[in-house]
Chain A
Amino acid sequence: MSDPERELRVSKIRDGTVIDHITGGQALNVLAILGIDGDEGVGVSIGMNVPSDKLGTKDVVKVEDRELSQGEVDVLSLLAPEATVNIVREFEVVDKKRVERPARVVGLLTCPNHNCITNADEPVESAFGVVDDGVRCEFCGEIVREDIGDHLAVH
């Protein structure tokens, strides 16, 4: 007997990307950091706080008909360091991408320092260097360690 609820959670996609083992509660931020807001017309499935042997709870995002680049995968590491990324073609996983922390992220985050020049009306993108346990504004030096998802510029 199939469990309809479980089937809904894990149903396979034909083509696209499955991002698994996302830190619980971060799925929407992952979509934001990838610039996916639903307007693209691609199918997006989200599972939030589903049981996980490895993480306790996790989020899962499936994006149909879109394969993430390595660069996009890399920025995921800021929000979901444990994430696994599977590229799917014709229902088969054809590639598993490793999540690696990038050296810097540009234009993705806003600086929490309200007095930082990047928060003024100037023609520059924010730029953050990735440090051991967070990111650091390249303009004012502000360090963000917790709740990086709260500072997504794409929100």
Chain B
Amino acid sequence: MRHDHLLSAGQLTREDIEAVLDRAAELDADPGAVGDRYADTLLALCFFEPSTRTKMSFDTAMKRLGGDTVDMGTVESSSVKKGESLADTVRVIEGYADGIVLRHPSEGAAKLASQFVDVPVVNAGDGAGQHPSQTLLDLYTMRERAGLDDLTVGIMGDLKYGRTVHSLASALTNFDARMHFVSPESLRLPRGVQFDLHDAGARLREHTDLDEVLGELDVLYVTRIQRERFPDENEYQKVAGQYQIDAATLEAAKDDLTVMHPLPRVDEIAPDVDTTEYAAYFAQAHNGVPVRMALLDGLLDGNGAGDDAAGDGGAR
């Protein structure tokens, strides 16, 4: 993959995706395969929103590559609290690190950051926008479990604000996938995402009831209905129960259905699914490390001692 930044899944071709997934598989099998090329490489973790999996897996990935991370810490403990602009923050951090992983509550934040720095920027979630590195690990998990072609994928839950959904749907247009979107009317896919999917010639259908399509699915990608988005608790209660699954629900599914979830979950997947053959969500989370290792390997110039005898490359 040869991109300066990873800002959205829309910039990824099938070739890009397969290159990252293939490399992830290699690194998964042999984490030491990169040698010490990243020994002098630093990755900045700039998380303006809370995160467990994404932040820790990028941290782990960089360290598994032999490099290290610097962490901005929480917004409350940073200069952001003093009113510093994002543009200024990333310009300062560019001087410390060889790449920036950015999570931010505003849509388009990573794109903005990329316009102010020369080091690679990875969008680790921008508001309700995009989360492309999550998509790569989602696709890695899908490929391991079900392959990536001739797939029928159901995506259920909060499709309006779900950035993982937006990125995944975009990436799936590179493959022979039929997409079924299941959500309450109030949480349907945004107009911009639908525009892109139609523009890419995607085969998609929208549903309000999982039962309409469950039996056809090879993959069911579940996301949390975000209670806090509903202005009226009664409106939330009307839809919440329809979007929970348990082992009994899945009796109507194909035997080889793969159930995925970007996590964290609350109550949308009952614990009794965890021990079934359907459940892939914990393996999916674990896949974040090799996939992000592969992603960083493609975006960062590994210029540590292993490749650079003069030793003048690496972290600033």
Contacts and interface: CB of A to CB of B under 8 A. Distances in A.
Nearest to B107: A140
Contacts of A142: 107, 192
Contact of B87 (A123, A131, A140, A143): A123
Contacts of B129: 140-141
B111 interface: yes
Interface in B108-138: 108-109, 111-112, 115, 126-129
A11 interface: no
Interface string A111-155: 001011110111110000001000011111111000000000000
B230 interface: no
A116 B195 CA distance: 18
A28 to B, nearest CB: 28
Interface string A84-123: 0000000000000000000000000000010111101111
A136 B10 CA distance: 15
A124 B107 contact: no
Interface string B196-236: 10000000000000000000000000000000000000000
B147 interface: no
Contacts of B111: 117, 138-139
Given A115-B105, A120-B106, A139 B112 contact: yes
Nearest to B191: A143
A132 to B, nearest CB: 9
Given A141-B193, A143-B191, A115 B128 contact: yes
Given A120-B86, A122-B87, A141 B107 contact: yes
B192 A123 contact: no
B165 to A, nearest CB: 14
Interface in A42-96: none
A122 B107 contact: no
A123 B112 CA distance: 9
Interface of A is mostly: loop
Interface residues of B, number: 22
Contacts of A116: 106-108
A121 to B, nearest CB: 6
B192 A139 contact: no
Contact of B86 (A113, A117, A138, A141): A117
B85 to A, nearest CB: 5
A111 to B, nearest CB: 8
B104 interface: yes
Interface of B is mostly: mixed
Contacts of B85: 120-123
Contacts of B128: 115
A143 B87 CA distance: 24
A118 B104 CA distance: 13
Contacts of B112: 117-118, 122, 124, 139
Given A115-B128, A116-B106, A124-B115, A143 B86 contact: no
Given A123-B85, A124-B112, A117 B192 contact: no
B121 to A, nearest CB: 13
Given A140-B107, A141-B107, A124 B195 contact: no
Interface in B45-101: 85-87
Given A115-B128, A123-B87, A124-B115, A137 B108 contact: yes
Contact of B107 (A113, A123, A131, A143): A113
B227 to A, nearest CB: 19
Interface string B166-206: 00000000000000000000000011110110000000000
Interface of A: 113, 115-118, 120-124, 131, 136-143
The 4 closest A-B pairs by CB, nearest first: A139-B108, A140-B107, A141-B192, A117-B108
29 contacts: A115-B105, A115-B128, A116-B106, A116-B108, A117-B86, A117-B104, A117-B107, A117-B108, A117-B111, A120-B86, A122-B86, A122-B87, A122-B112, A123-B85, A124-B87, A124-B112, A124-B115, A136-B195, A138-B108, A138-B111, A139-B111, A140-B127, A140-B192, A141-B107, A141-B190, A142-B107, A142-B192, A143-B192, A143-B195
Given A115-B105, A115-B128, A120-B86, 14 more contacts: A115-B127, A116-B107, A117-B126, A118-B112, A121-B85, A122-B87, A123-B85, A123-B87, A139-B107, A139-B112, A141-B107, A141-B192, A141-B193, A142-B107
